[in-house]
Amino acid sequence: MSELATLGGGCFWCLEAIYQHIDGVEKVVSGYAGGENSNPTYEAVCTGKTGHAEVIQITFDPDKVSYGKLIDLFWTAHDPTTLNRQGNDTGTQYRSVIFTHSEQQAESARLSKTEAQRKYREPIVTQIEPIPAFYPAEDYHQDYYQRTPNNPYCAVVIAPKLKKLGLK
């Protein structure tokens, strides 16, 4: 039976491209979570006024990849010590956040965060909170790297990240 994991760590295109390479991950959907408005749009989220973060929702087979392994990758897939920013992407919509789907996920995420902190000099600022609601992003955001690998953002930001993580 499949499970869900919802993560935010900067631009959703980056995390989507990373997790699409992981065995046991069945589907990755870019979207928004953590804000007050129902059915937010990309334009509204980009204002930073909706409270939403750009996130990915991962459907995975826990018999093939554990939630813990997905979270362990999360700590190296972005910089969890920068508040409301990843690289040149700034604003609360780019915050580092783990939205949990159960108390078991919450406990696993907290323990993993404590372990990951040993690898960083600066404090990890990642929020861990229950998922309030998830809203899929517009179609043109889905599978972005797969569809547009030659886009400058993909070539300059995503491709080197995939290479660094040994995924390309």
Ramachandran area for residue 39 (φ above 0: left; ψ -120 to 50: alpha; else beta)? left
Q: Which of 25, 77, 51 is nearest to 129 (CA)?
A: 51
Largest CA distance in the chain: 40
Burial code (b: 16+ CB inside 10 Å, e: under 16) for 95-112 equals bbbbbbbeeebbebbeeb
Q: Which residue in the list 11, 14, 46, 154 is annotated as catalytic?
A: 11
Give the torsion through C-alpha atoms of 21, 26, 32, 38, to 10 deg: 170
CA–CA separation, 166 and 128 (whole Å): 27
- Asked about 46 being catalytic, the answer comes back as no
| 87 Rama class: left (phi>0) / alpha (psi -120 to 50) / beta | left
Question: Residues with catalytic annotation?
Answer: 11
